[in-house]
Structure 1
Amino acid sequence: MLNPTYPIKTPRLLLRPFTMDDLDELHSFHSRPDVVRYLPWDARTYDGTRAALETKLGQAALSAENGTFNIAVELRETGALIGDIFLFWRSPEHRQGEIGFAFHPDYHGQGLAFEASREILRLGFDDLGLHRIYGRCDARNDASARLMERLGMRREAHLVENELFKGEWGDELIYAMLQREWTPAA
């Protein structure tokens, strides 16, 4: 079970549960075609964002029954909601999880997704005791691939045309890290 004390503080960020007050800021990037280009949903309407947010409200703790941990990434300096980060508990038996993220483009290139993702890896390895955490991305999503490499995850696979994604066959990259490879002070 993963039920952290909130907010989780990093040097520049607060990681916290979503609230309904996040609706407008979440919609500001979930509604953008450039943000969702490589995500499994289309640009969301306001009502679609509200429905997604209502689901996120119950995902601030992780258990075998609730296999999705999804929290808000807030910029400490301004209080702006800048990202949406996930840890899926894919296999309690094999102690495997999957990381995922979506960040507002206005905050790209500043190392903020890296900072938030490092904390999610820490929670997965140190607090939940996962053996392996992996991430997947469309092979055309250079930014996500670079982020996972920067996190120290190794590229394990390049799957060729493995899924029909938004109307076209797409390649997928899989990156992973084992608990013994995790270095918290990096």
Structure 2
Amino acid sequence: MLQPTYPIKTARLILRPFTPDDLAAFHAVYTHPDVTRFLDGEPRTRTESAALLATKVQGTALTRPGQTLAIAIELVETGELIGDLTLQWVDGEAGNGEVAIALHPRHQGSGYAAEALTELMRLGFEDLGLHRMFGRCDARNVASASLMEALGLRREAHLRENERIRGEWRDELVYAILATEWRRR
């Protein structure tokens, strides 16, 4: 079980539960072309963003496998919501978790993603007791692949044309790290 004590503060970020008041900033992330080009499906309508946000508002803890922890990423300096951080508890028996992050492009390239994911992986390994954490990305998403490598995840797979999104076959990369590797870094 993982019930984080919120807010979680890092050097430059506040990681906290989502609230309904986050809709405008949340929608701005998930409709930006530089974000949506690497995601499944079409850019969300405001109504679709509101429905997704309502689900994320409920994702404040992990009590059983299959659940997803949803965390808003906010800048300490300005209080601005800049992204979405998730940890899905994939499998309780094997101790697997999947991490994902989406940042507004205006805030990419500043180290915020690494700062947020480092804290999320700490929560997964140290507080939830996961054995292995993994992340996936579109093979063309060089920034996401580089981020995972910089955090110590190794590429485990390059899945060729495994998804058809918006009429186009896409390759997917899978990166992972074990708890023992995380502790050694």
> TM-score, normalised to structure 2's length?
0.96
Number of residue-to-residue matches in the alignment: 185
Equivalent residues in 2 for 1:108-123, closer than 5 Å: 108-123=108-123
**1:64 touches 1:92 (CA, 8 Å); kept in 2?**
yes
Q: Which residue of 1 aligns with 2:173?
A: 173
Whole-Å Cα distance in 1 between the matches of residues 88 and 173 of structure 2? Answer: 17
Q: Which residue of 2 aligns with 1:140?
A: 140
Q: Which residue of 1 aligns with 2:159?
A: 159
Rate the CA distance shift 1:65–1:181 in 2: closer, same or farther, 3 A: closer
Give 1:41 deviation, angstroms.
3.7
For 2:169, the aligned partner's letter is W
Whole-Å Cα distance in 2 between the matches of residues 65 and 175 of structure 1? Answer: 20
Instruction: After the TM superposition, list the runs of 4 or more consecutive aligned residues in structure 1 that deviate by more than 2 angstroms.
Output: none
Confirm whether residue 182 of structure 1 aligns to residue 182 of structure 2.
Answer: yes
Secondary structure of the equivalent of 1:182?
A: helix
Whole-Å Cα distance in 2 between the matches of residues 154 and 66 of structure 1? Answer: 24
Unaligned runs of 5+ in 2: none
Give 1:45 deviation, angstroms.
1.4
> TM-score, normalised to structure 1's length?
0.95
Q: Percent identity?
A: 56
**2:132 touches 2:177 (CA, 8 Å); kept in 1?**
yes
Q: Which residue of 2 aligns with 1:7?
A: 7
Whole-Å Cα distance in 1 between the matches of residues 21 and 45 of structure 2? Answer: 17
Whole-Å Cα distance in 1 between the matches of residues 59 and 96 of structure 2? Answer: 18
**1:125 touches 1:131 (CA, 8 Å); kept in 2?**
yes
**2:18 touches 2:57 (CA, 8 Å); kept in 1?**
yes
The alignment's C-alpha RMSD in Å is 1.3
Q: Which residue of 2 aligns with 1:19?
A: 19
